[in-house]
Amino acid sequence: MIILLLLSVLISLTLSDDVPKPTGIFQYSQKVDHYSYSPEASQTFSQRLFEYNKHWDCGPNGTVGPLFVYTGNEGPLESFYYNTGFMFEIAPAFGALILFVEHRYYGESLPFGSESFSNDGLRYLSSTQATADFAEVINHYKKSKNITQVVSFGGSYGGMLTAWMRLRYPQLVDVALAASAPLPMMARTAKPKQAFFEIVTEDFKAADERCPDIVRKGFSQLYNIVKTPGYQASVTDTFKLCKTFDVSQFNHLVGWARNAMLMMAMVDYPYPASFMGELPAWPVKHSCKMMLEEMETSGNEMRALAVGAGLLYNGTDGTKSCFNIYEDFIECADITGCGTGPEAKAWDFQCCTEFQLATPSTNVTDMFPPLEWNLDIASKYCEANYKVSPDPVDASLNYWSADFSAASNIIFSNGLLDPWHAGGVLEDVNPTVKAIIIAEGAHHLDLRGSNKDDPMSVILARNQEVALIAEWLGQKATDNFTEDDSANLVHF
């Protein structure tokens, strides 16, 4: 069935990373609280929307194309709008209206302005409030524009949200494409076959089998050198730190280096990209190569580790003369990092209330120093910072956990280079809850715009995604292709 669909729906995606500017930027008057009847429930805030309507078929015969809506992530809307070219490439075939909705407490969608990040202001930050926001916006669009079909898209946390939209609001969302969405890991209901940091290690080993050992020994040397006289100058020089290193900064420096390795594994794209930093093509291979070259020059694993980790923060231009590790990396309740800026605090809070994600590193199956992080430690941290504690039961009760057997029309895609795939849905659940595996794919690579250097596995994945969306919407995407489009179809 799927093979036949692929043959009929195979599409040619424009080989360009360019995403057009929004045709409209709007502010939607959104409820602060969807779940109470208190006086505050009547308060509203401005939620930012990006719309692109150039491909929308609002048809002369009364036909109206579907709404493609992206459920915003833990960051400013621009970051995801300009890195989700797939939606723009397939929109013409469906005559779709494109809409990106910014997540509350991120970007410019702040319920209480600068006070949003106070402990009191954060009380309305949750994924349940966020999905209710999306539902309000989608319902408004459906009614005001006579739209009858909606496809929801999202990657990473946005992918979790987009799956939840189909689960919680099936009357509003007809199809959901959830890319790199680690729902079972978040719910702690299924023990992954591989741990997050083990996959990062395997990515570096695939680049060169010597690299994990360099990283492991580099961390070991760092541990040992801080016990010796004069370590301050040595570590400061080796890692090119802007401020003189002190042993009190030790754990943060380790986190800074660990974060660099895992982020490069996440965004190990086959071409230069700036999604989470200015990085070259295949950044894991590039970082590994830099470490090997440093070993040939100095023979010092700690220096090699510093060089390899510095790639994430230094970017492709390599212009930084020194690193400020406290600006580059923020420690938080998410051991894989919370990013930087105000968004870091918002995500930190969510990880203190809703999400317990990646398992710690062990130095046994992975190349990183042991990291102790459990519910007790997290609770103490969260109580001290926000007066809240994680609830390990809440996610499995509210979000279907890892049991999607009663669900329908959800695509879960995962790339095997992405360490988050350890917590993803990796097998078909039923005929309409499908898992798509991308062998050479990093973090939601399939949602990015097509590129001439894309591996075949992501081309096939996108074609399958289009076929499923077309089937589940009951449409034929090929009906919207011109003869010129047909001449450019991808054939295998």
Amino acid at 422: A
pLDDT at 113 over 70: yes
Q: What is the pLDDT confidence band of residue 386, given thresholds at 50, 70 and 90?
A: very high
Task: State how far the Cα of 217 lies from the Cα of 211, in Å rounded to an integer.
Answer: 10
Asked if the structure places residue 482 within a domain, the reply is yes
Task: State how far the Cα of 284 lies from the Cα of 265, in Å rounded to an integer.
Answer: 6
pLDDT at 444 over 60: yes
Instruction: Determine whether 193 is exposed, middle or buried from the number of CB atoms within 10 Å of its CB (0-12, 13-18, 19+).
Output: exposed
Task: State how far the Cα of 46 lies from the Cα of 30, in Å rounded to an integer.
Answer: 6
Domain end, chosen from 365, 386, 407, is at: 386
Q: What does the pLDDT read at residue 492?
A: 29
Out of 443, 446, 450, 454, the active site residue is 443
The number of beta carbons lying within 10 Å of the beta carbon of residue 296 is 8
Q: What does the pLDDT read at residue 159?
A: 96
- Using a pLDDT cut of 90, give the percent of the chain over it: 73
If asked whether residues 246 and 319 sit together in one domain, one would say: yes
For 332, phi then psi, to 5°, come to -165, -170
Residues 450, 462 contacting (CB under 8 angstroms): yes
Query: What is the greatest pairwise CA distance in the chain?
Result: 81
pLDDT at 117 over 80: yes
Residue 355 is given by DSSP the state: -
Contacts of 346 (CB under 8 A, 6+ apart): 74, 105, 106, 116, 117, 122, 125
**In CATH, what number is assigned to the domain containing residue 9?**
3.40.50.1820
Residue 271 is given by DSSP the state: S
pLDDT at 12 over 60: no
Q: What does the pLDDT read at residue 459?
A: 97
Q: What does the pLDDT read at residue 2?
A: 28
Task: State how far the Cα of 470 lies from the Cα of 409, in Å rounded to an integer.
Answer: 11
Asked if the structure places residue 327 within a domain, the reply is yes
**Mean pLDDT computed over every residue of the chain:** 88
If asked whether residues 60 and 168 sit together in one domain, one would say: yes
Q: What does the pLDDT read at residue 403?
A: 79
> Up-side HSE of residue 97: CA atoms within 13 Å toward CB?
23
Q: Where are the beta strands (DSSP E) in 182-222?
A: none
Q: What does the pLDDT read at residue 315?
A: 67
Q: What is the pLDDT confidence band of residue 183, given thresholds at 50, 70 and 90?
A: confident
Task: State how far the Cα of 185 lies from the Cα of 44, in Å rounded to an integer.
Answer: 33
Domain end, chosen from 328, 355, 386, is at: 386
pLDDT at 103 over 70: yes
Residues 312, 348 contacting (CB under 8 angstroms): no
Task: State how far the Cα of 418 lies from the Cα of 228, in Å rounded to an integer.
Answer: 38
User: Locate tokens 């007066």: which residue?
Assistant: 387
Asked if the structure places residue 393 within a domain, the reply is no
If asked whether residues 168 and 203 sit together in one domain, one would say: no
Active-site residue 491, yes or no?
no
CA-derived radius of gyration, the chain:
23
- Exposure pattern of 161-172 as b/e (b: 16+ CB <10 Å)? bbbbbbbbbeeb
**In CATH, what number is assigned to the domain containing residue 327?**
1.20.120.980
At 460, list the tokens. 């096939």
If asked whether residues 162 and 22 sit together in one domain, one would say: yes
pLDDT in tens, 262-315: 999 999 999 999 888 889 999 999 999 999 999 999 999 999 999 999 999 986
pLDDT at 198 over 70: yes
Please tell me the least confidently modeled range out of 16-20, 319-323, 487-491. Answer: 487-491
pLDDT in tens, 406-435: 899 999 999 999 999 998 999 999 999 999
pLDDT at 8 over 60: no
The residue-averaged pLDDT of 198-211 equals 97
Residue 22 is given by DSSP the state: P
Residues 297, 318 contacting (CB under 8 angstroms): no
Asked if the structure places residue 391 within a domain, the reply is no
Asked if the structure places residue 93 within a domain, the reply is yes
Residue 323 is given by DSSP the state: B
Q: What does the pLDDT read at residue 124?
A: 95
Out of 109, 127, 152, 156, the active site residue is 156
Domain end, chosen from 327, 362, 386, is at: 386
Q: What is the pLDDT confidence band of residue 16, given thresholds at 50, 70 and 90?
A: very low
pLDDT in tens, 125-164: 999 999 999 999 999 999 999 999 999 999 999 999 999 9
Contacts of 282 (CB under 8 A, 6+ apart): 207, 268, 269, 270
Q: What does the pLDDT read at residue 93?
A: 94
> Up-side HSE of residue 140: CA atoms within 13 Å toward CB?
14
Separation in Å, CA 159 to CA 176, 281, 289, 290, 322: 9, 24, 32, 33, 36
Residues 291, 304 contacting (CB under 8 angstroms): yes
Supply the range of the domain harboring residue 461. Answer: 2-188+398-487
Asked if the structure places residue 411 within a domain, the reply is yes
Active-site residue 34, yes or no?
no
pLDDT at 440 over 50: yes
Q: Nearest to residue 344, comparing CAs of 352, 353, 332? A: 332
The residue-averaged pLDDT of 9-30 equals 73
If asked whether residues 310 and 438 sit together in one domain, one would say: no
Q: What does the pLDDT read at residue 15?
A: 39
Separation in Å, CA 101 to CA 110, 165, 413, 443: 13, 13, 21, 20
Separation in Å, CA 171 to CA 139, 159, 401: 10, 19, 21
Angle CA(364)–CA(370)–CA(371) in degrees, nearest 5?
135
Q: What does the pLDDT read at residue 21?
A: 96
Out of 268, 348, 418, 446, the active site residue is 418
Contacts of 299 (CB under 8 A, 6+ apart): none
Active-site residue 418, yes or no?
yes
If asked whether residues 356 and 209 sit together in one domain, one would say: yes
Asked if the structure places residue 392 within a domain, the reply is no
pLDDT in tens, 243-261: 999 999 999 999 999 999 9
Contacts of 278 (CB under 8 A, 6+ apart): 272, 315, 316, 317
Which run of H or E residues covers position 420?
A: none
If asked whether residues 330 and 415 sit together in one domain, one would say: no
If asked whether residues 351 and 462 sit together in one domain, one would say: no
Q: What is the pLDDT confidence band of residue 30, given thresholds at 50, 70 and 90?
A: very high
Separation in Å, CA 163 to CA 167, 395, 409: 6, 14, 10
If asked whether residues 329 and 433 sit together in one domain, one would say: no
pLDDT at 230 over 60: yes
If asked whether residues 336 and 403 sit together in one domain, one would say: no
If asked whether residues 258 and 381 sit together in one domain, one would say: yes
Q: Nearest to residue 415, comparing CAs of 443, 434, 396? A: 443
pLDDT at 4 over 60: no
Asked if the structure places residue 332 within a domain, the reply is yes
Higher-confidence position of 212 and 318 = 212
If asked whether residues 244 and 132 sit together in one domain, one would say: no
Number of structural domains, the chain? 2
